[in-house]
Amino acid sequence: MKIHSVIEGTRVNGPGFRFGVWVQGCLRNCPGCFNAEVCRMDGGRDVPVSELVRLALRQQYDGISVSGGEPFYQDDELSRLLDECRRHGLNTLVYTGYTYEELSAAGKHALRYCDYLIDGEYRREIPSRCRWAGSGNQRFLRLQDGKLAADLTALQDHSTDGEIIIGTDGTITLTGFVEI
């Protein structure tokens, strides 16, 4: 799987304590994208899905969140990653610039393994209504076997949040929705 980076432990990229994967590559060019460095199609590094699963199982996570870039560009690898993580008891969340309806119509197989989906292109000018979404047009959806089970976007306890993570090597990572 072509990835940009991982975060081993985040609480702002989905419900609970999570393992985060940022895939490399996106052609959507959303104005104001705050993950622009992961959009280059020629960047990132190849990491076997089995290695990502191994990393996700090193700690007691509630789930895995996959963002990017555009995760559904790598539908086969994404399917394998989410399926294997679910088999080990992790819930799965994927961020995408596409809507659920677009992904479903395109027959994206990985939807079957998504417990949660944050869908819709990033629109900086629309304030977020959901703790885990970047903009107000995006939805927080609960899926079951690839089918829409519930729209959780408007839940009262979902105000936006962000994290600053300082790694043991001194690297600083901003994740979630941090205003600077």
> Tens of pLDDT along 16-73?
999 999 999 999 988 877 777 889 999 999 999 999 999 999 999 999 999 999 999 9
Rounded alpha-carbon distances, angstroms, from residue 116 to 25, 63, 87, 171: 21, 10, 16, 29
* pLDDT tens column, 88-114: 999 999 999 999 999 999 999 999 999
Which pTM was predicted?
A: 0.85
Predicted confidence band at 177 (pLDDT cuts at 50, 70, 90)? very low
Average pLDDT of the chain to the nearest whole number: 87
Contacts of 140 (CB under 8 A, 6+ apart): 116, 117, 118, 130, 131, 132, 133, 151, 152, 153, 155, 158
Q: What are phi and psi of 144, to 5 degrees?
A: -140, 120
What is the dihedral angle through the alpha carbons of 158, 163, 50, 37, rounded to the nearest 10 degrees? 110
